Structures are given as structure tokens and as C-alpha cells.
């Protein structure tokens, strides 16, 4: 079997590459290294079954030749994070929408047997129902969420029009070792682990009672590989979650340390919680890593965050200015 992973040097991508190599697949990685890090694949260096191509999915001609003979495509390359998506919507559209278009066309031309798209639970915005089923209304709250949703619509349209064998999997708050560390203010784990390493208080948003469906990255990798291998997944949009929802206060309790409070951000849900009954009944998939074990494993790999930026209430207020400016207005 030959699999291709876009974004394979990124956080979720590198774990997916590990899982595929462990299954004996030949693996082709496409990554432009804009947020992916080659170090995420360092431990696979010299593996004859792995080839890494530094190429941009937004440039069709850079990637076309790489899909030859590929069985499964995992399309994980994308720009993430909320604030930069508000500041640079064109870059997000280019990577997440044009890039997805190019990956679909290259995959279709090469006759790949399956494509699994990494969609985002942010498409639900602030949902009406918890746990949230796939049938919930789509309400993107910022350009990142919108562009990931548009990518999902492309993928599903290719299935409808061309019979292209695609699946869209909607991830809920993925965490785990190698979660991206860049200059951007982003996902809570990177922020808190850098604060822990520097003996600084955790910047808890609001009162910390809000909850997230924190899903461990190896469970995500396992879910998308399961989806690729099962015909029942073709043409489906499926949530992938942990089966629970955990408060920020609980996370702080597990990490241990002091707290400082920062204001609640506009447009953010008080809860994310996937209804995973669809993927469970269609594919028999279920998550394996408990929140407690996942957090313990993050702590075991905490050195990864030594070079991560250290955030405090002031630098967060500065970094999230545009968030409050554009999403905080009435109506």
C-alpha cells in the first residue's frame, strides 16, 4: 500500500505518517514547512519507505506528479488558528480552499482509491445541541472555520459529481505531542505547557468552566486510517471526538500550578462535544486514550515546548486584538 499525507510534517500529519509506516505502508509526504516542522519526522529519518517533498498544495504543478500510484490520500495540510485567519484571509483561502481543490484534482487524475479530508468541528460555531451531531447547522464564526468548511464542501462535491471516493472527518480539539509550536497564539496546550516550563501562571480564559472535547492525536490518526480502509465511510462526513468533554479547570488540575484569568473571547463556545455515534456505528471506531492518560503523556514530552513562545495576559491581549475587534461587535 502507498499512502500520501499532505501536511505530513505537521502535528496530526506526522502522527499519521508514523501510524501508516507502522502498518507497512510506503508513505509520501507533501509539506511546504510553513507551519510543519521537519523535526516532527526526524525519528523516521533513513526509513526507505518514507519520502518527503517540500511542496505547496496551493501550487498545482508543484504537487501533480507526486500522486502517481498512491492508494490512500490523507489531506491534512492547512493553515490553522483563528487570529491570523482574520488578519490574512487570502492566505487561508489559498491554502485551505485552493489547496484542497488542487489535492482533489491531483488525486482524481491519479485514480487514488481513497481520500480522507481533515475537517474541523469549528464549522458548528456555537451549536444548539451537545453532544453535537453531524446534522447540526453549519455556522462558521471566523475565516479559518469558513475555509475548512469550504474545503469539506469541495471534497463532498467531488464525491457527488465524480463519484470520487472521499470521506470528511471533523476533528474536535486535537492535542498530543508535537502539537504545533510557532509564534502564533494558538491552542491551549502549547500555551499552558510553555507556562508550566517557565513556572508562570496558566492564562485561563473566563472562569475555566468551559469544556472542550480534547481528542488525543493517535486516536485521530487511527480514526482516519480506519475511515480510509472501510467502504462504509465513502461520501460521509463524520465527527471524530474523545467521547467526553473536559473543563479548562480540570486541565489545570492535571497539569498543576497557579492560574491567572483573562477575558472570555467573543464567538467561542462554552462547550465542544462530539456526538461520535456515526463513526462508531459505521466503522466501529472508538477512541482509546483517556484525557488523564493523554495529559500525562503530554507532560512526559514537555521538553518539546522549551522553544515555544511564552504568553502572559498582556501579550495575549495584544495578540488577540483583532479577535475582539472583529468578532466582538454586536449583531
**Residues annotated catalytic, as ranges:** 144
Q: Are 3 and 51 in contact (CB under 8 A)?
A: no
Q: Does 210 bind ligand UDP (CB under 6 A)?
A: yes
CB of 221 to ligand UDP, least distance (A): 19
**Pick from 96, 169, 173, 181: which binds ligand UDP (CB under 6 A)?**
173
Q: Does 203 bind ligand UDP (CB under 6 A)?
A: yes
Question: Hunting for cell 505530513 — which residue is that?
Answer: 8
Q: Does 204 bind ligand UDP (CB under 6 A)?
A: yes
CB of 48 to ligand UDP, least distance (A): 37
CB of 270 to ligand UDP, least distance (A): 8
* C-alpha cell recorded at residue 209: 468552566
Q: Are 201 and 233 in contact (CB under 8 A)?
A: no
What Cα–Cα distance (Å) separates residue 241 from each residue in 63, 134, 145, 245, 251? 31, 12, 17, 9, 17
Question: Looking at 52-60, 161-169, 199-207, 294-302, which segment touches ligand UDP (CB under 6 A)?
Answer: 199-207
Q: Does 31 bind ligand UDP (CB under 6 A)?
A: no
β partners of residue 274: 132
The site map against ligand UDP for 258-297 (x = CB under 6 A) is ----------x---x-------------------------
Question: Looking at 40-48, 150-158, 184-192, 322-330, which segment touches ligand UDP (CB under 6 A)?
Answer: 184-192
Among candidates 33, 258, 56, 73, which has minimal Cα distance to 166? Answer: 73
Question: Hunting for cell 481528542 — which residue is that?
Answer: 215
Is the CB of 75 or the CB of 212 nearer to ligand UDP? Answer: 212
* Angle, CA 164 vertex, CA 159 and CA 167 arms, to 5°: 65
β partners of residue 6: 30, 75
Question: Looking at 37-45, 110-118, 205-213, 222-230, which segment touches ligand UDP (CB under 6 A)?
Answer: 205-213
**Pick from 188, 220, 227, 274: which binds ligand UDP (CB under 6 A)?**
188
Q: Does 248 bind ligand UDP (CB under 6 A)?
A: yes
| Ranges of H-type helices in 111-178 | 143-162
Q: Does 193 bind ligand UDP (CB under 6 A)?
A: no
CB within 8 A of 52, min separation 6: which ones?
A: 8, 9, 29, 31, 38, 41
Cα(320)–Cα(269) distance, rounded to whole angstroms? 16
Burial class (CB in 10 A: 0-12, 13-18, 19+), 22: exposed
Site size with ligand UDP, rule: CB under 6 A: 12
CB of 144 to ligand UDP, least distance (A): 9
Is the CB of 102 or the CB of 203 nearer to ligand UDP? Answer: 203
* C-alpha cell recorded at residue 284: 466501529
Residue nearest to ligand UDP (CB): 205
CB of 4 to ligand UDP, least distance (A): 28
Q: Does 205 bind ligand UDP (CB under 6 A)?
A: yes
Cα(23)–Cα(31) distance, rounded to whole angstroms? 21
Binding site for ligand UDP (CB under 6 A): 173, 187-188, 191, 203-205, 210, 212, 248, 268, 272
Amino acid at each position: 500500500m502507498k499512502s500520501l499525507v499532505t501536511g505530513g510534517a505537521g502535528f496530526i500529519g506526522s502522527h499519521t505518517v508514523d501510524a501508516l509506516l507502522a502498518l507497512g505502508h510506503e508513505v509520501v509526504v507533501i509539506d511546504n514547512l510553513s507551519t510543519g516542522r521537519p523535526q516532527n519526522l526526524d525519528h523516521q529519518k533513513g526509513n526507505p519507505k518514507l519520502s518527503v517533498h517540500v511542496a505547496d498544495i496551493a501550487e498545482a504543478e508543484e504537487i501533480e506528479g507526486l500522486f502517481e500510484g498512491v492508494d490512500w490520500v490523507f489531506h491534512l495540510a492547512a493553515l490553522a488558528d483563528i487570529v491570523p485567519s482574520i488578519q490574512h484571509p487570502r492566505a487561508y483561502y489559498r491554502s485551505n480552499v485552493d489547496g484542497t481543490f488542487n489535492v482533489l484534482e491531483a488525486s482524481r487524475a491519479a485514480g487514488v482509491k481513497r481520500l480522507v479530508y481533515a475537517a474541523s468541528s469549528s464549522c458548528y460555531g456555537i451549536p444548539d445541541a451537545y453532544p453535537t451531531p453531524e446534522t447540526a447547522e453549519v455556522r462558521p464564526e471566523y475565516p479559518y472555520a469558513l475555509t475548512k468548511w469550504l474545503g469539506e464542501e469541495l471534497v463532498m462535491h467531488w464525491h457527488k459529481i465524480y463519484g470520487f471516493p472521499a470521506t470528511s472527518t471533523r476533528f474536535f480539539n486535537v492535542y498530543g505531542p508535537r502539537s504545533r509550536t510557532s509564534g502564533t497564539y494558538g491552542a491551549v496546550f502549547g500555551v499552558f505547557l510553555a507556562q508550566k516550563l517557565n513556572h508562570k501562571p496558566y492564562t485561563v480564559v473566563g472562569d475555566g468552566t468551559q469544556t472542550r472535547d480534547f481528542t488525543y492525536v493517535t486516536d485521530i490518526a487511527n480514526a482516519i486510517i480506519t475511515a480510509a480502509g472501510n467502504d462504509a465511510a465513502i461520501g460521509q462526513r463524520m465527527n471524530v471526538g474523545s467521547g467526553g468533554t473536559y473543563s479548562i479547570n480540570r486541565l489545570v488540575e492535571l497539569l498543576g500550578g497557579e492560574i491567572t484569568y483573562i477575558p472570555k473571547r467573543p464567538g467561542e463556545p462554552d462547550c465542544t462535544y462530539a456526538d461520535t455515534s456515526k463513526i462508531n456505528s459505521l466503522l466501529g471506531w472508538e477512541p482509546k486514550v483517556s484525557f488523564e492518560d493523554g495529559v500525562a503523556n503530554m507532560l512526559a514530552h514537555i521538553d518539546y515546548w522549551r522553544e515555544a513562545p511564552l504568553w502572559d495576559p498582556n501579550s495575549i491581549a495584544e495578540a488577540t486584538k483583532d479577535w475582539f475587534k472583529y468578532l466582538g461587535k454586536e449583531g
